[in-house]
């Protein structure tokens, strides 16, 4: 977190990529890499969704950290003995330090680790999901959707940039602000963008084009956390998601689509934010609510046309 009153995210990630031509020294290979995630984290949740939608489970294994962590690192406390069964490490920081013993930045998820060396390859989460779509095509399941079609990439990128600035990161800018001015600026930008998204989605089922794309994945992981965390914990309380009819129906549509809702663990999400963020919630008391059954209510957005997977099929 910045020492200034406005939260500033460190976006200096490890930029190596896993590509078909292996230009950074990491060619696409099945069974070589392990995706490390935490279901609590919205940035990691994107990678979980895209991996599942594209059917990359057999090509890239996945390790899961627990919902809480200390100041040092995410940990594999969900696994027997507290060790990742493939990497055989207790803390994700071990893979970062294997790459650079003096790694100076945060230990973040998602991260992709080269199993043979135990070293992190990349933690550049926006690029990870795009590369899943473009560089790993050889290993996509039959019927995998086109999440990043070439003819829509400029529009997807443009929408995603706005959503990142004002919504994905905007909730953090509100929640971690340390002055009234910084908080209200982030709050106003967040809800102005949510209003813009409402107008956009009032007449179309998905953010860009007729089918689910990367843009929808990126917005969904924030919307899924809005009422359970961001509305109260981060003071984003002009409206609950469930009080914004268009966005609420859009979020339920995605939640009920295979590959989205089945990646969400609301209990881990609540535990992470309310236990880890002690500057925001020093008591570490985790709220009992809200009621989550309404995520399964009919959304009615089929009437807008479009189809989730285009000519593809849902994941198994």
Q: Residues at the annotated binding site for glutathione?
A: 74
**Catalytic annotation on 172?**
yes
* H or E stretch at 232: helix 231-233
- The residue among 99, 128, 101 whose CA lies nearest residue 112 is 128
Rounded CA-CA distance 226/220 in Å is 10
Give the torsion sign (CA, 4, 287, 37, 230): negative
Q: Tell me the backbone φ, ψ of residue 77, rounded to 5 degrees.
A: -75, -5
CA contacts within 13 A on the Cβ side of 290: 17
- Is 41 among the catalytic positions? yes
Binding site, annotated residues: 74
**Out of 125, 172, 250, 274, which one is annotated catalytic?**
172
Q: Extract the tokens encoding 261.
A: 């809702």
The CA distance from 163 to 169, in Å, is 8
Whether the bond into 206 is cis, omega within 30 of 0 = no
What is the set of active-site residues? 41, 172
């Amino acid at each position: 977190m910045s020492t200034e009153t406005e939260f500033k995210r460190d976006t200096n990630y490890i930029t190596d990529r896993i590509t078909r031509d292996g230009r950074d020294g990491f060619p696409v290979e099945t069974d070589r890499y392990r995706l490390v995630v935490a279901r609590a984290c919205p940035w990691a949740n994107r990678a979980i969704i895209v991996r599942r939608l594209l059917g990359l489970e057999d090509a890239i294994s996945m390790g899961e950290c627990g919902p809480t962590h200390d100041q040092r690192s995410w940990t594999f406390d969900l696994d027997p003995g507290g060790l990742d069964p493939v990497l055989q490490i207790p803390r994700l920081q071990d893979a970062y330090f294997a790459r650079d013993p003096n790694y100076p930045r945060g230990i973040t998820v998602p991260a992709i680790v080269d199993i043979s060396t135990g070293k992190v390859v990349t933690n550049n989460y926006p690029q990870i999901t795009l590369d899943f779509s473009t560089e790993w095509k050889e290993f996509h399941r039959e019927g995998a959707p086109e999440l990043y079609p070439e003819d829509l990439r400029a529009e997807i990128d443009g929408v995603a940039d706005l959503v990142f600035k004002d919504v994905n990161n905007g909730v953090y800018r509100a929640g971690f602000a340390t002055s009234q001015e910084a908080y209200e600026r982030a709050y106003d930008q967040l809800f102005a963008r949510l209003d813009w998204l409402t107008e956009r989605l009032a007449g179309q089922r998905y953010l860009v084009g007729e089918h689910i794309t990367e843009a929808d994945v990126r917005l969904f992981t924030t919307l899924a956390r809005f009422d359970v965390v961001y509305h109260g914990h981060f003071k984003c309380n002009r409206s609950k998601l469930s009080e914004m009819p268009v966005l609420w129906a859009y979020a339920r549509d995605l939640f009920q689509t295979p590959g989205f809702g089945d990646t969400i663990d609301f209990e881990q999400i609540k535990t992470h934010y309310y236990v880890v963020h002690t500057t925001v919630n020093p008591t570490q008391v985790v709220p009992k609510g809200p009621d989550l059954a309404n995520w399964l209510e009919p959304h009615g957005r089929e009437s807008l046309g479009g189809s989730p997977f285009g000519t593809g099929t849902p994941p198994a």
